[in-house]
Amino acid sequence: MSDRSPAVETSALSALAALSTAHLADACVRLGLEVRCGPSELTAVDGGMRCAGRVLPVRHVGSVDIFFEALEFARPDDVLVIDNGGRLDEACIGDLVVLEVQRAGLAGIVVWGLHRDTRDLLRIGLPVFTLGATPAGPLQVGGRLPDGLERARVGPWTVTTADVAVGDGDGVIFLPGERTREIVAAAEAIRDVEERQAAAMRAGTSLRRQTGFADYLAARAADPALTFREHLRATGGAIEE
């Protein structure tokens, strides 16, 4: 296995746990970063589950020993990201693997594939994100891949130990580890603006009024090229950002 990437600051990882994947996605847009969200089918076994941590990648070929090997190199609060090729004919994890991962101190599991033992997984409580469930376990065992512990593919994205995974009720997003601090700062700013806007709406001020929508319509009449996003940037709004 190749050397692990430099650790993401602990404070940044702690801050991620308090941010939604939606705010993190908006932060990536604001910073001009690629928004690497898992496909919409990739969801939590239980909607209230959430996790955040450095990616611990694994490419599954039909045997649990690759998971055990990955755990030998794991750091506390890593997220095990399993590439099972998006297969929908077999589950590659069940209750025993999830228990082992939990006992190793990891923050959660993301699977580009299926799980089984749903009832037991709910009882264990470790955050697990998959494409769904099936009773069938691995159907065949392939040869060990030379890069089986170096990268994992999830939908269109390939992630490594240089990345961070965050999952919640909206799905999973992958972030570049070296930009985590910037992403957290941008996401916190967006969250704070939205919270103030929501509080003002509950107090009776519409979002249209808060964002100066009437002023935007007047400005757009004078400059048809003006976009609402440009207007929001000028007024400090967070919608669409």
116 among annotated binding-site residues: yes
Count CA atoms within 13 Å of residue 227 on its CB side: 6
Residues β-bridged to residue 54: 164
Instruction: Give SS3 for 120.
Output: helix
Q: How far is CA 109 from CA 33, 126, 203, in A?
A: 24, 8, 40
Q: How far is CA 159 from CA 5, 15, 120, in A?
A: 12, 21, 28
117 among annotated binding-site residues: yes
94 among annotated binding-site residues: yes
Count CA atoms within 13 Å of residue 115 on its CB side: 26
String of DSSP letters for 145-204:
PTTTTT-EEETTEEE-TTEEEEEETTEEEEEEGGGHHHHHHHHHHHHHHHHHHHHHHHTT
* Residue ranges in 7-146 assigned as alpha helix (H): 10-16, 21-31, 65-72, 95-103, 118-124
Task: Output the known binding site.
Answer: 94-97, 116-117
Pick out the residues of the known binding site for substrate: 94-97, 116
Residues that constitute the known binding site for Mg(2+): 117
